[in-house]
A and B are shown apart, each in its own frame.
Chain A
Amino acid sequence: MLFILKKMFYILALLLVNLYVCEYVNNKLTARMELRRGYRITRAKGVGFPLVRFFKYLSRSGRINIWTFFIFLLSLLMWSAVPITANLVLIEMDYSLLIAVTFYIGLIIMLFFNLSRTSYSAAFSETSKKVLILLSFLIPALFSIVSVVLISKTLSLKEIVNSQYQYWNIILQPLGFITFFISLFLQFKLLGISGKSYLSTGINIGKEGTGLGKIVERFSIYMIVFFLIIILNILYLGGWQGIYLIRGEIILAIKFYFIFVILLLMDKAVGRIDSYNLLVRINWKFLIPVSLVNFIVTFGFFMARDVYNLI
C-alpha cells in the first residue's frame, strides 16, 4: 500500500513539476516568438508566473460543476496505466495501452464538449460539428496506434518500448508517426494551449468561465498534451531506452521537451485554425487517408508475416 502511495506521489510530483515548467516555457517562448517580453510582474524573468496565474484564477471563484470534476478525475486516472519510466507505473498490466487510450478518449470527449457552452438553439449543429472534428483527429491517431500494436504484437506499453531495442518504430512506421504527430498538433491547437480556437469553444469564445473550473480545464488540457507526447515517445521514439551512457529517464525528458517546444513553434507558425471547412479538409483529405494506407500496409505485412508465414 505504502509502495503504491509512494509511486502515486512521485507521479503527481513529476506531473506538477512538468506542468509548471511547461506553463512557464509556453508563456515565455510564445511571447518571444511574437517579439514580446512576456509576463514580467514576478521577478527573475517571470519564474513565478504560473503560480501567480493559479492564484489569480483561484481568487475569482472556487465553484466547479460535476462535469469539470469528472474531467479532473479522468485526467488523473489516465496516468494509472501509463509507464512514465520503466519502473514508474502505478498498475502494471498487459493491456495498459488499451486502458490508457480508453481514458484518453473519454477525457478528450468530455473536455471538448465541456469547453463549448452553446446555446440550445445551436446545440444540434454545434454538437454534430464537434463530433466530426473529434472523429477527424481521433481516427488517424487510433489507426497509427493499431499499426504499432500490429508491428510489436502486444498491448503493453512496456513491451512496446522493449521491442524497440534495435530500431525505433519511427523507422518502421514513418507515415504513422507523421499522422500521429499531426493529430497531436491539431489537438494542441484546438484545445488552446497558447490561444483558444473557435472550433473548440463554440461561438461563446470569451465566456469560458473563470476560477477553479478554468484551472481544472487548463490542467486537463496539459494532461492530454503530456499524455500524447509520452505515448508518441513510447510508440515511436523508443520511450525510456537509454542512448550509450545517458540514462533513459534523461533521454525521455529531453525528447519530451523537444517535442513540446516543436509543438509551440508550429503552433505559432501555422496560425489559428478557425475555419471548420479547412480543418475537415485537412483531416478527411490528408490525415485519414494517409493513416488508413499506413494501417492497410501494416495489416498486410502482419498477415503475411504472422498468419501465413510468407515473410
Chain B
Amino acid sequence: MLRLIKNFFIVFGNIFRKPRTVIYPKEKIIIPDESRGVLHLKLDLDSLEVICNGCGLCSAICPQGCIKVKKRIEDKGREVLDEFCLDLSKCIFCGNCVEFCKMGAIDMSYKYQHAEYDKKNLRLEKIELIKPSSTIRDFW
C-alpha cells in the first residue's frame, strides 16, 4: 500500500517534469557517452598509414560474420591491410572487434544514422572506414 502511494506521487510529479523524449529532426539531444556507432579504422599519425595489419582476428571474433579482412605481404615481408569490408546490414554493434584487436587499430565512432535506400550502400570499404566520422559526440 505504501509503495502504491509512493508510485502515485511519483506519477503525479512526472506531470510537471520536463519530458524526456524529443521531436527528432527538430530537437536534438547529446549522444550518450561510449555509445557505439560505425567502426572506424585508426591511422598512424606519423606515417598516416592504417594501423591494422590485417591479422583477421576481428573477422574471426565477429558473431555476425560481417567483417571481411584481406591482407597482403609487402616486399620487405611486412604484413599490411589490403581490404577491409564491413557489412552494416549485419552488424549488431557488439564491439567485440574493438575489444579483441591486438593492435588497437579499430574504434567505434559516434556515427549512427545508417538509413539507406540501397542495401549495397551498407557495405563499407576500407576507404570509407578510414574517413573520420562527421558526427562528433555533441548534438545529433
Interface residues of A (CB under 8 A from B): 29, 31-37, 40, 265-266, 268-270
Contact = CB atoms under 8 A, between A and B. Distances in A.
Contact of B8 (A29, A31, A266): A266
Nearest to A29: B15
Contacts of A31: 19
A268 B14 CA distance: 11
B20 interface: yes
Given A265-B8, A270-B4, A32 B21 contact: no
A35 B17 CA distance: 7
Which of A35, A36, A266 gathers most chain B CB within 10 Å? A35
B48 interface: no
A123 B14 CA distance: 41
B89 interface: no
Interface string B12-48: 1011011111110000000000000000000000000
B15 to A, nearest CB: 5
A35 B19 contact: yes
28 contacts: A29-B15, A31-B19, A32-B14, A32-B19, A33-B11, A33-B14, A33-B15, A35-B14, A35-B17, A35-B18, A35-B19, A35-B21, A36-B20, A36-B21, A37-B19, A37-B21, A37-B22, A40-B23, A265-B8, A265-B11, A265-B12, A266-B8, A268-B11, A269-B4, A269-B7, A269-B11, A270-B4, A270-B7
B64 to A, nearest CB: 30
A29 B12 CA distance: 10
A62 B14 CA distance: 38
What is the interface residue range for chain B against chain A? 10 to 19
A268 B21 CA distance: 18
A33 B7 CA distance: 11
Given A32-B15, A36-B20, 17 more contacts: A29-B15, A32-B14, A32-B19, A33-B15, A35-B14, A35-B18, A35-B21, A36-B19, A36-B21, A37-B21, A37-B23, A40-B23, A265-B12, A268-B11, A269-B8, A269-B11, A270-B4
Contacts of A40: 23
A269 B4 CA distance: 7
B44 to A, nearest CB: 46
Contacts of A265: 8, 11-12
B8 to A, nearest CB: 4
